[in-house]
Amino acid sequence: MTNIVLFGPPGAGKGTQAERLKTNFKLNHISTGDLFRSNIKNQTELGNKAKAYIDKGELVPDEVTIGMLKEAVKENQHGNGFIFDGFPRTVAQAKALDEFLLTLKTEVHGMIALDVNDEVLVQRLLERGKTSGRADDANEEIIRNRVSVYYKETSILKDYYQEKNKYYSVDGVGSIDEIANRLAEIVEKL
Ligand code: AMP
């Protein structure tokens, strides 16, 4: 089994690259952002709880997010492993993921970060907002808040995985194919 945490700020291209990895390595792609959006669309209790945070570009509380992630993993036990996209975003989430995977007799094999400069991110997200229909992509202030939340609360996870010798990074600027090849080279060695 190979379990990967795909890491990087909003707009780094995690969703696009996760789809490539999913096909190439037959992994399950679990995106907490997608799960929240689908819950919001279906007006579930979880979706209603999460919406206010997401609309402001803030993180949804850990207990809500961790519970949702565990359910998604339990429901998708086929394939060669998991790509976690947008999760973990806090140290508490990373620890919860380690403990949970241990109960399944597995682990995170590597975190791979997509490196992209901030101004490129903001421009990509504004561009995506024209067609994605995502409220949190449409407004520059919310986009900048999401990027700043990433640096304040999430980027610390680099240290968490680095200490375990599980941190890798690739240049996230280039064509989709080029970046997919950079990621595949790492995943093949995990
Ligand atoms: P994303 O699609 O990954 O950019 O996520 C969109 C939004 O969903 C984020 O800005 C957060 O509000 C929320 N979200 C997604 N994943 C998490 C997570 N792991 N922890 C807390 N909030 C999250």
Q: So what's the pLDDT on residue 47?
A: 97
- Per the listing, tokens 């986009």 go with 143
Q: Which long-range contacts (CB under 8 A, 24 or more apart) does 131-139 make?
A: 134/37, 135/55, 136/54, 136/55, 136/57
Q: Is the pLDDT of residue 153 over 90?
A: no
| Atom in ligand 1 nearest the alpha carbon of residue 54 | 12
Each residue of 47-88: pLDDT tens digit? 999 999 999 999 999 999 999 999 999 999 889 999 999 999
Quote the tokens at residue 109: 């094999």
Mean of per-residue pLDDT scores for the chain: 95
Indicate the top mutation candidate among 31, 59, 66, 136 to test ligand 1's pocket, ranked by most ligand atoms within 8 A of CB: 59
The Cα 29–Cα 87 span in angstroms is: 11
- DSSP secondary structure of 15-36: HHHHHHHHHHHT-EEEEHHHHH
Residue 109's φ and ψ, nearest 5 degrees, are -90, -30
Least confident of 11-15, 29-33, 179-183: 11-15
Q: Is 134 a catalytic residue?
A: yes
pLDDT score for 148? 92
Residue 182 annotated as catalytic: no
Ligand 1 near 20 CB (within 6 A): no
pLDDT tens-place string over residues 101-152: 999 999 999 999 999 998 899 999 999 899 988 889 989 999 999 999 999 9
Tens of pLDDT, residues 26-52 = 999 999 999 999 999 999 999 999 999
Position 52 scores a pLDDT of 95
Marked catalytic residue, from 20, 37, 89, 182: 89
Specify the pLDDT at position 133: 87
Q: How far is the C-alpha of 148 from the C-alpha of 26, rounded, in Å? A: 33
* pTM of the complete model: 0.93
Pairing status of strand 110-115 against strand 81-85 = unpaired
Among 16, 56, 60, 70, residue to substitute to test ligand 1 (most atoms within 8 Å of Cβ): 60
